[in-house]
Amino acid sequence: MKKPRRGHIVLISSSSALVGEPFEAGYAVSKVGVIILGRSLARNLGQYEVTMNCVSPGWTLTDMSADDLKGETGERVTRQIAVGRIGRPEEIAGAVLYFASDLSSFVTGQNLVVDGGE
């Protein structure tokens, strides 16, 4: 990417980096690290016109989260989300696609939270 002076790198973090979750401090700290890594590398890679951005999904219905979102926990989480539902993987993919495309060629070092307004 340096030699052709072109490219886009997208990191995935989590909205937990910004709000934290009870009993999940280690997870939240690791996700903050991803965001800061992206901001730092954006400063290093900008001179090569390589962008580095991050997407931080909120609750998203995946195989990993399906059990966590059952029953009362799922209802509580859904009530905290402004749009009133859990996100879908393709909604996260849209944000990643934006950062991976030339539409974002002047955007670098940013973190886009995709959490339905949680």
List of long-range contacts for 35-39, beta carbons under 8 Å, 24+ apart: 35/11, 35/111, 37/11, 38/9, 38/11, 38/13, 38/109, 38/111, 39/109, 39/111
The residues facing 118 across adjacent strands are none
d(CA 98, CA 56): 14
Kindly list the catalytic residues. 14, 27, 31
Give Cβ neighbours of residue 15 (< 8 Å, ≥ 6 apart).
56, 57, 58, 59, 113, 114, 115, 118
